[in-house]
């Protein structure tokens, strides 16, 4: 029997539905593995279809197209190492999340996912049938067990594979990022290693898909839980890993370990990668956004410059009579520091025309919120006109605090195709600005140094829709608001939990009410990258019509 086994791990970035493109990536990776002398070239879960493909995989025509590409891929990769690839797999009326082993020109074996996740962003119980508990597959004389993603979060699948002869575990994943998830993954995989006594290789994909960003960071553990291989987070790459057989079985040969970025860097990388892939995979090349002189639009402009390059970002200042000189100066300073195009489009004349048009209907009524929102909606109209004319996707810039309580104008500043900070609370926006000013990485396409003036970070937040307006006129101060939102949204807690944490009950009730009545706005809002398990969209699904309020 062989004493050495080489796996080429392909931590790559598929596109949902691009079967030909994903298959081409797989072929190129297989060629790399073949040149490296690999016994097996491994790709992540559902790589051929892309992940998370949701209901697309239930379409019969799509399933047949997947099978065609699998057969072609098997034929193309006949003369060399085995190729392991994830794909949807139909058998009669059943549909499985499968891991397929291609060798000698055919589909030689398959593993079917047994434990189907049915929480947060996953609906696999609705989409897939559960496969049976099965045994390992053979590559040469080596028997490999592949618990597919969620399978490795439960002990039964790995234990069954070990009991039926698996010599090590290769776990293909489509595991999206949320803050601190790497620690959770590592703890789960260490548990499987300790339970089975087998080495374990965890292979994850990278790249953005709608709201989810897959962070890679593939790794390998030896018995006892010692880390032998740690691949970089977020980077698409192939890397060969060797196992050697000794008296006690297979062991992964240790390699230098990459380090996982801290929370602020990881979150920022997700925002950049999410936007970059959303643009690239939908076909847009350029973006524009309204640059107000405030902190939210400043960090969105910076994310856009880092994701796409400053030359592909248009910043538009749309001032009214309530826009301060400091906002004008700060907005221009951000665009200049980033190297983005800066356009100045006053809204005074347009606003006056709308006011005149509505005057007969509004006669005798006091100006108020309606007139404030007209400004925001006029800005949205003008930005969408620019988007249509120049083919640039409009970014919206509302932070999670605003999105949570509806402190945003639907069809106004909420207009846009993507929101890079949708899951970032206001207090974290401030700190992210400071982090970006102090840090630059090679994956950023924007300039080094301070790009967001300190004056933007320190001034009181305001929408500038009336004289002397401050966000604190309508909302609790952001440190209080964000702490309450963390309890009510991210932790799914109660009013009693807020009170127990030291917050005023009436303030907590007000925030809860605002969260519920804003559901209709979120239902129509742009997608954005998921940073937490409490992100608005698939993580948290509430009815739009909802009369319940916490009585505690």
250 and 290 share a domain? no
Residues 331-359: pLDDT tens digits?
A: 999 999 999 999 999 999 999 999 999 99
Angle between helices 295-308 and 426-438 (to 10 degrees): 50
| Same structural domain, 237 and 269 | no
Answer yes or no: is 543 within a domain.
Answer: no
In-domain check, residue 355: yes
Catalytic residue among 10, 45, 426, 498: 45
- What is the rounded average pLDDT for all residues in the chain? 95
Q: Looking at the domain assignment, is residue 245 inside a domain?
A: yes
Question: 3-state class of 118 per DSSP?
Answer: coil
Q: To which H or E segment does residue 385 belong?
A: helix 369-390
Q: Check 10, 103, 113, 426 and give the catalytic one.
A: 113
Q: Last residue of some domain: 198, 225, 259? A: 259
φ, ψ of residue 104 to 5 degrees: the values are 55, 35
Position 467 scores a pLDDT of: 77
Same domain, 47 and 82: yes
pTM: 0.95
Residue 447: which pLDDT band, with cuts at 50, 70 and 90? very high
Residue 523 is assigned to a structural domain of this protein? no
CATH of the domain at 191: 3.60.110.10
Residue 20 lies inside a defined structural domain of this protein: yes
Tell whether 548 is covered by a domain.
no
Respond yes or no: is residue 149 known to be catalytic.
Answer: yes
Boundaries of domain holding 57:
4-259
Q: Is residue 236 part of a domain?
A: yes
Residue 451 has pLDDT above 70, yes or no: yes
The answer on 116 and 99 residing in a single domain is yes
- Residues of the chain with pLDDT > 90, as a percent, come to 93
Q: Give the Cα separation of 50 and 88 in Å (integer).
A: 10
Same domain? 247 vs 305: no
The mean pLDDT of 472-484, rounded to a whole number, is 92
pLDDT, residue 463, reads 73
Question: Do both 255 and 331 map to the same domain?
Answer: no
In tens, the pLDDT along 216-238 reads: 999 999 999 999 999 999 999 99
Total number of residues shown for the chain: 552
The CATH number linked to 430 is 3.40.50.620
**246 and 315, same domain (yes or no):** no
- pLDDT (tens digit, 9 = 90+) per residue, 381-407? 999 999 999 999 999 999 999 999 999
pLDDT in tens, 235-269: 999 999 999 999 999 999 999 999 999 999 999 99
Same domain, 420 and 291: yes
What pLDDT digit, counting tens, does each position of 158-180 carry?
999 999 999 999 999 999 999 99
165, 282: one domain: no
3-state secondary structure of 375: helix
CA separation for the pair 323, 371 (Å, rounded): 15
In the chain, the number of structural domains is: 2
Catalytic residue among 10, 77, 115, 149: 149
DSSP-derived 3-state class of residue 219: strand
Residue 371 annotated to the active site = no
Query: Could you say which of 231, 259, 287 is where a domain stops?
Result: 259
Active site annotation includes 402 = no
Rounded to an integer, the average pLDDT of 14-24 is 98
User: For residue 130, which of 155, 107, 157, 108 has the smallest C-alpha distance?
Assistant: 157
Whether 363 and 306 map to the same domain: the answer is yes
- Is residue 546 assigned to a domain? no
Same domain, 35 and 156: yes
Say how far residue 104 (Cα) sits from the centre of its chain.
Answer: 37
The answer to whether residues 270 and 233 belong to one domain is: no
Which of 213, 228, 259 lies at the terminal end of a domain, its last residue?
Answer: 259
pLDDT at 1: 52
For 225-281, give the secondary structure using H, E and C. Answer: CEEEEECCECCCEEEEEEEEEECCEEEECCCCCCCCCCHHHHHHHHHHHHHHHHHHH
Report which secondary-structure segment, H or E, holds 173: strand 168-173
pLDDT score, position 2: 64
pLDDT, mean of residues 6-34? 98
Which residues fall within 8 angstroms of residue 198, CB to CB, at 6 or more apart? Answer: 145, 158, 162, 166, 167, 168, 169, 223, 249, 250
Which tokens hold the place of 546? 């909802």
For residue range 400-439, list pLDDT tens digits in order.
999 999 999 999 999 999 999 999 999 999 999 999 999 9
Task: Tell me what pLDDT residue 217 has.
Answer: 98
């Amino acid at each position: 029997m062989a004493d050495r086994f080489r796996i080429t791990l392909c931590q790559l970035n598929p596109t949902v539905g691009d079967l030909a493109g994903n298959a081409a990536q797989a072929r190129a990776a297989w060629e790399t593995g073949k040149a490296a002398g690999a016994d097996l070239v491994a790709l992540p879960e559902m790589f051929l279809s892309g992940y998370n493909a949701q209901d697309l995989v239930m379409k019969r025509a799509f399933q047949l197209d997947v099978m065609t590409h699998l057969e072609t891929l098997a034929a193309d990769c006949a003369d060399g190492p085995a190729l392991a690839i994830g794909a949807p797999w139909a058998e009669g009326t059943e549909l499985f999340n499968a891991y397929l082993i291609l060798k000698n020109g055919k589909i030689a074996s398959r593993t079917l996912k047994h434990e189907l996740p049915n929480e947060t962003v996953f609906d696999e119980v609705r989409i897939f049938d559960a496969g049976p508990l099965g045994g390992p597959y053979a590559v040469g004389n080596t028997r490999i067990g592949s618990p597919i993603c969620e399978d490795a979060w439960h002990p039964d699948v790995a234990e069954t594979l070990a009991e039926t002869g698996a010599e090590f575990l290769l776990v293909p994943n489509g595991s999206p990022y949320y803050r601190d998830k790497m620690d959770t993954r590592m703890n789960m995989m260490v548990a499987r290693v300790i339970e089975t006594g087998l080495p374990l290789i965890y292979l994850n994909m990278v790249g953005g898909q709608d709201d989810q960003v897959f962070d890679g960071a593939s790794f390998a553990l030896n018995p006892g839980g010692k880390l032998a291989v740690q691949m970089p987070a977020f980077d698409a790459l192939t890397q060969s890993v060797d196992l050697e057989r000794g008296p006690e079985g297979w062991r992964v040969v240790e390699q230098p370990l990459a380090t996982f970025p801290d929370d602020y860097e990881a979150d920022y990388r997700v925002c950049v990668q999410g936007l970059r892939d959303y643009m690239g995979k939908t076909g847009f090349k350029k973006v524009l956004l309204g640059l107000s002189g405030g902190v939210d639009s400043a960090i969105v402009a910076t994310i856009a410059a880092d994701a796409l390059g400053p030359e592909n970002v248009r910043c538009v200042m749309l001032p009214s009579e309530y826009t301060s000189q400091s906002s004008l100066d700060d907005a221009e300073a951000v665009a200049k520091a980033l190297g983005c195009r800066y356009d100045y489009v006053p809204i005074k004349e347009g606003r006056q025309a709308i006011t005149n048009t509505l005057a007969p209907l509004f006669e005798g009524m006091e100006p108020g919120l309606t007139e404030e929102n007209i400004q925001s909606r006029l800005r949205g109209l003008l930005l969408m006109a620019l988007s249509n004319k120049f083919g640039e996707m409009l970014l919206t810039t509302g932070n999670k605090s605003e999105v949570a309580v509806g402190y945003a104008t639907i069809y106004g500043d909420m207009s846009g195709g993507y929101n890079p900070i949708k899951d970032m609370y206001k207090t974290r926006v401030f700190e992210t600005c400071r982090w970006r000013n102090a840090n630059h990485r090679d994956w950023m396409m924007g300039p080094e140094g301070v790009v967001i003036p300190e004056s933007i970070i320190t001034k009181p937040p305001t929408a500038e829709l009336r004289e002397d307006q401050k966000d604190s006129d309508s909302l609790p101060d952001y440190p209080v608001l964000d702490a309450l939102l963390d309890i009510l949204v991210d932790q799914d807690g109660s009013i009693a939990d807020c009170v127990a944490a030291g917050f005023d009950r009436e303030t907590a009730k007000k925030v809860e009410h605002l969260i519920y009545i804003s559901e209709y706005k979120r239902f129509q809002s742009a997608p954005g990258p998921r940073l937490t398990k409490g992100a608005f969209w698939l993580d948290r699904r509430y009815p739009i019509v909802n009369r319940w309020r916490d009585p505690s």
